Structure 1
Amino acid sequence: MDKPIIDDELWKRIEHLLPQPKARREKYPGRKPVPDRAALNGIVFVLRTGLRWRDLPAEMGCGSGVTCWRRLRDWQQAGVWDRLHELLLAELRGAGQIDLSRVIVDSSSVRAIGAGPKTGPNPVDRARPGSKHHVATDANGVPLSIILTGANRHDITQLLPLIDAIPAIRGIRGRPLQKPQVVYADRGYDSEPHRQRLRDRGINPILAKRRTVHGSGLGKYRWVVERTHAWFHNFHHLRIRYEQLATIHEAFLKLAACMICWNTLQRSAQAF
């Protein structure tokens, strides 16, 4: 493929975050390993297209699907995607693209092919195995934190973990941002104890109440998280959970969040 999937500017940010490869033996070093950038191209290609690992085109030069899978696993264990996410959030804040005046939380369910950790009977899919993507975004729809659970986990159980998982966002001089002023959520998060816990943290909870008429007006704030879920589902590999290992699916989720942040940063740069 002529054009690399990961452009040069993004690769510069990723390259120094990757763990150093093991030293090769001087005698009988074995086959030369696939370059990290080539393996990352293969990983992102699978993420975007939903292709099976074994069907990666040989002409991409990324080695076998097993090689790419192992790199994704190792980089996830090394915390590469978490650090990249924090780096991109800091750049977005420096560009004036982070707004923590409000945070919006929501979840979406996806079918899981087979059982595995963090799957469960999906109540909206005839109890077939499924998982939930719980997402918290800022006022602009930038993904701040994402959590994977089984599809049978109630949304409210992840409200506080999502808020706690928001990293400290630097990017400009002064104290880093981490705590939102307001949290918006739909009726699935209606819980008075959780409202009080948010208030105890100095956060104003605006959570829709169950058994009330529609027309609360929260839609004019909450639509951004629905758009963010759509951005995640533009990565075809996230529409259905194919990976039995939860860590691999979580790695894809975090990599997708980084790609969304990078695309937002690119759009903001083009606007000037």
Structure 2
Amino acid sequence: MGRDTWSWIVPDGLWEIAKPLIPPSRVRPQGGGTQDTPDETLFAAIVYVLVSGCAWRALPPCFGVSKSTAHRRFVIWSRAGVWGRLHEAVLDRIDECGLLDVTRVVPGR
């Protein structure tokens, strides 16, 4: 993501990790809708909702994405396993940088 777009909500490098994990958007069978919203914009809007804890209906208009579009894409990406794969990819990247220390991990009880 460029510094001038959504870097205030999506940390540098996160979009580059997430982009190849996101499935291509498909035409909705019921039709309708306007232009295809860029995945980068939807990703930023979804991350905003997830990080801030706000309701989908409270998504700020600065994203230029409707709450229903953002939520629908969140559901599609969730069903496609994007969030779990993103989590693993981020952990792999942190490990590659030597920043992951699992020597103090306490197993579940």
Is TM more than 0.5 here? Answer: yes
Q: 2:22 — aligned with what?
A: 18
Paired letter, 2:26: K
Specify the alignment match of 1:98 in structure 2.
Answer: 100
Pairwise CA distance, 1:98: 2.3
Higher mean C-alpha displacement, 4-13 vs 79-88: 4-13
Deviations 1:192-219 (A, max 9, x none): xxxxxxxxxxxxxxxxxxxxxxxxxxxx
Question: Structure 1, residues 104-160: CA drift from partner, whole Å, max 9, x if none?
Answer: 25xxxxxxxxxxxxxxxxxxxxxxxxxxxxxxxxxxxxxxxxxxxxxxxxxxxxx3x
Aligned length: 102
Alpha-carbon distance change, 100 to 9 in structure 1, aligned in 2, over 3 angstroms:
closer
What TM-score comes out, normalization by structure 1 length?
0.34
* AA partner of residue 101 (structure 1): T
Cα distance, 1:99–1:50 mapped onto 2, change above 3 Å: closer
Report percent identity of matched pairs.
38
Structure 1 unaligned blocks of 5 or more = 106-158, 160-188, 190-272
SS at structure 2 position matched to 1:33: coil
| Higher helix proportion (structure 1 or 2) | 2
Match for 1:72 among 71, 74, 77?
74
Matches within 5 A, 1:1-272: 3-4=5-6, 5-22=9-26, 31-61=34-64, 63-105=65-107, 159=108, 189=109
Q: Which runs of 4+ in 1 moved over 6 A?
A: none
Q: What letter is aligned with 2:96?
A: G
Structure with greater Cα Rg: 1
Mapped partners of 1:3, 1:30: distance in 2: 24
| One-letter amino acid of the counterpart of residue 22, structure 2 | L
Bigger RCO (CA 8 Å, 6+ sep): 2
User: Could you say if the C-alpha distance between residues 104 and 87 of structure 1 is closer, same or farther in structure 2, counting changes exceeding 3 Å?
Assistant: same
- CA shift digits 1:53-80 (9 cap, x unpaired): 112222221x111111111111111111
The alignment's C-alpha RMSD in Å is 2.4
Q: Which runs of 5+ in 2 are unaligned?
A: none
Q: TM-score, normalised by structure 2?
A: 0.75
Higher strand proportion: 1
* Separation in structure 2 between the aligned mates of residue 11 and residue 68 of structure 1, nearest angstrom: 16
- Alpha-carbon distance change, 30 to 86 in structure 1, aligned in 2, over 3 angstroms: closer
